[in-house]
Amino acid sequence: MEGWNLTGTSSGSFIDFANAMADSEAAGQSAAGKDTDALSVSQAVEIAANALDAIPQLTVIGEVTGFRGPNARSGHCYFQIKDDSSAVDCKIWRGVYLKRAFDLRDGLQVQFTGSFDLYKPTGRMSFIARSFSLAGEGLLRQQVAALAEKLRREGLMDETRKRHVPVFCNRVAVVTSLSGAVIDDVKRTLRRRNPLVELICVGAKVQGEGAPAELIEALRRAAAIEPAPDCILLVRGGGSFEDLMTFNDECLARAVASCPVPVVTGIGHEPDTSICDMVSDRRCSTPTAAAESVAPALADLVEVTSTRERRLANAMNVRLAAAQDALGNDLQRVQRAMDARLERIRLTLEAAAARPCLTDPTVIVDRRRVELSQTAERLDAAIEHAHKRFAQQLELVTPRLRGATAGFSKKRHALELSTSQLRHVGASLLNAPHSQLASSAAALDALSPLKVLARGYSIAYAPTGVLTSIADARPDDEVRIALADGNVRARVTSVEAADNLNVDAADPAN
Amino acid sequence: MENQTNVDELSYREASTELEHIIRNLESGDMELEASLKSYTRGVELLRSLRGRLADAEQKVSVLMADIDGNDVLQPADAASTEDKPSFL
């Protein structure tokens, strides 16, 4: 039953298959087909299956189509691979698909390694892939993604390391092919937008063999320009994925990241993103956009300048007005202060002027004159008064003085009398003593030792007194011998008793 | 204010930055009058220069080329063509 069904529904396929076989090694089999010894479908399919089994393992590149993911129940994958003119069913068993390096999806260019197989119940041929890997652009994209991830991990895409591109770049180096339309685009864009931007074109190959090295060298040369440009435009027009692969080069990406001058990229068209874009300091979707990003439009500058002109004038006016105000205020203050000061001085002056010494100077003299006349009056009165008093006192004293001296002549007479009486009495009183004294003096003169001494006697004095006895004298005593006309000092040499008396024997000591 | 460079020696950006700076200082209003007058004069000078440059702006293009000794030199090159504009203007 299945055979019928199979024949009925798949006859077309079978004939196609048979025809295909006829072109290949199974040509002999087909030629042998006759009505008389016709084969059953099973037999024919068997022959075809054997023929397919005889084909060695193949590696096929094709685009995946009709992929719906692994079968929910079995986990196997059923889809087709095709190229421009052919397609074939393809199966990947669950175990193989589990070990995959990437997910299959429609449109991928994949390289499958496996062999053909014929499913006998339906007679359908399919390719059983035992392994598969990305091919062509798919492979490239995978490699690019891996490189991007690697550079991202290294931090080359960190926002923090992206340098600031000046809003208005005065000097811009353009690194691109000098022969393409891109350089003209950039020039024209900037000419229209802002001709003040100076452009320096640095030529380099932008695709194909050696392009990355040339671009790296061009970046180096551009950064070395003196004075250094404000930024470098790394641009390239649109192209196929392979064309743009130059800008996914690791060395070029590193050169962009390490370029001493900020790099602005504009590579390909809108959706294209290269690794150079990712590591550059500013990424623009196209060369034109990149050119536009490096400087403001001239019209904007004109407007900004006009605005600034107004602001400048305004600010200056405000400043001047403020200065004027300040000056006015200062002037007012000065005036007020001056007025106040003048007023104070005026008041002081007026007060001074109002004083009497200035208004009527004669007052001073008048007052002094009055004072003087009063004093003079007082003086006159005082003198008069004193005079009167002294006169009165004198008058009182005169009779008293006269009275006091009245008894003076009587007393003088009595005094004279008393004086003569006293003189007389005194003289009589002295007569008797006077004669007595004269007789005493004569007696005394007769008795004087001096008279004796004058006759040749002398008096000897020992230290104890007058020597009257030998008992009072000792040898070596110093004695004074008083004579009438002086003294002799002598030393006792010896003392002798009276029986041997010889006055002349006594040696004078000196 | 000090060591002022000749206005014409400044790049557009430098002149523009200086002008903006001057205006801000003036707007802040805490400058001495003499200083502000000096600033204003400088500002007017910058403004005139900037206006002039905007009016007469001509694109300058050069190409970096290696000379015989292999040293990079700038060679003047043509500005962008004006073909995108009608010729009668």
- Within a domain: residue A432? no
Q: What is the pLDDT of residue B83?
A: 62
* Chain A residues near residue B20 by CB distance under 8 angstroms: 308
Are residue A184 and residue A136 in the same domain, yes or no?
Answer: no
**Which residue pairs from A457-465 have beta carbons closer than 8 angstroms and sit at least 24 positions apart in sequence?**
A458/A482, A458/A483, A458/A488
* For A302, nearest residue in chain B (alpha carbons): B54
Whether cis (ω within 30° of 0) applies to the bond prior to A227 is yes
User: The tokens 């200083």 sit on which residue?
Assistant: B35
Q: What is the pLDDT of residue A36?
A: 65
Closest chain B CA to residue A227: B74
Q: For position A373, what pLDDT does the model report? A: 94
Alpha-carbon gap: B44 to the closest alpha carbon of chain A (Å): 8
Q: Is the same domain home to A272 and A317?
A: no
The low-confidence residues of chain A, meaning pLDDT below 70, are 1-36, 499-510
- Name the pTM for this structure: 0.54
Handedness of CA A312, A316, A317, A322 (dihedral sign): positive
Contact criterion met (CB below 8 Å) for A59 and A29? no
**Cα four-point dihedral sign A209, A210, A212, A215:** negative
Q: Do A323 and B54 touch (CB under 8 A)?
A: no
B53 touches A at CB < 8 Å: yes
Is A224 in Cβ contact with B23 (below 8 Å)?
no
In a domain, A305, yes or no: yes
**Closest-CA residue of chain A to B23:** A312
CB contact under 8 A, A170 and B74: no
A431 found inside a domain: no
A249 and A345 belong to one structural domain: no
Task: Using an 8 Å CB-CB cutoff, list chain A residues near B89.
Answer: none
Whether residue A193 sits in one domain with residue A270: yes
Q: Are residues A173 and B77, on separate chains, in Cβ contact within 8 Å?
A: no
- Averaged over B8-25, what is the pLDDT? 88
What domain range includes position A325? 299-370
Q: Which of A342, A370, A398 is the last residue of a domain?
A: A370
Q: Which residues contact A371 (CB under 8 A, 6 or more apart)?
A: none
Number of domains in chain A: 4
Residues 6+ apart with CB under 8 A from A38: none
The answer on A268 and A311 residing in a single domain is no
Residue of A nearest to B49 (CA): A305
Contact with chain A for residue B26, Cβ under 8 A: yes
Domain finish residue from A241, A266, A295: A295
Task: Check if the beta carbon of residue A177 is closer than 8 Å to that of residue A183.
Answer: yes
- Predicted pLDDT at A290: 94
| Backbone torsions φ then ψ of A200, nearest 5 degrees | -125, 120
A3 touches A40 (CB < 8 A): yes
Closest alpha carbon to A99 in A133, A55, A60, A71: A133
Annotated domain spans of chain B: 1-78
Q: Domain for residue A402, yes or no?
A: no
User: Looking at the partner chain, which of A166, A190, A225 has a beta carbon nearest the beta carbon of B13?
Assistant: A166
| Cβ–Cβ gap B79/A316 under 8 Å | no
Is A224's CB within 8 Å of B11's CB? no
Kindly identify which residue of chain B lies nearest to residue A296, measuring between CA atoms. B13
ipTM over 0.90: no
Q: Quote the longest CA-to-CA distance of chain B.
A: 58
Q: Which residues of chain A lie closer than 8 angstroms to B62, CB-CB?
A: 198-201
DSSP secondary structure of A153-172 = HHTTT-GGGPPPPPSS-SEE
Residues of chain A contacting B29 with CB distance shorter than 8 Å: 315, 318-319, 322
Yes or no, beta carbons of A225 and B44 under 8 Å apart: no
Is the same domain home to A218 and A129? no
A428-462 per-residue burial string, b: 16 or more CB within 10 A, e: under 16: eeeeeeeeeeeeeeeeeeeeeeeeeeeeeeeebbb
A459-462: strand order across its sheet: A465-466, A459-462, A478-483, A486-491
pLDDT in tens, B38-86: 889 999 999 999 888 888 888 888 898 888 888 888 888 888 776 655 4
- Give the pLDDT confidence score for residue B86 in this predicted structure: 44
| CB-based burial label for A219 (10 Å; 0-12, 13-18, 19+) | buried
| Closest CB to A200 among B47, B50, B64 | B64
Q: How many CB atoms lie within 10 A of CB A470?
A: 12
Whether residue A99 is found in the same domain as residue A27: yes
- Quick check: B61 and A194 CB within 8 A? no
**Do residues A121 and A2 make contact, with C-beta atoms less than 8 angstroms apart?**
yes
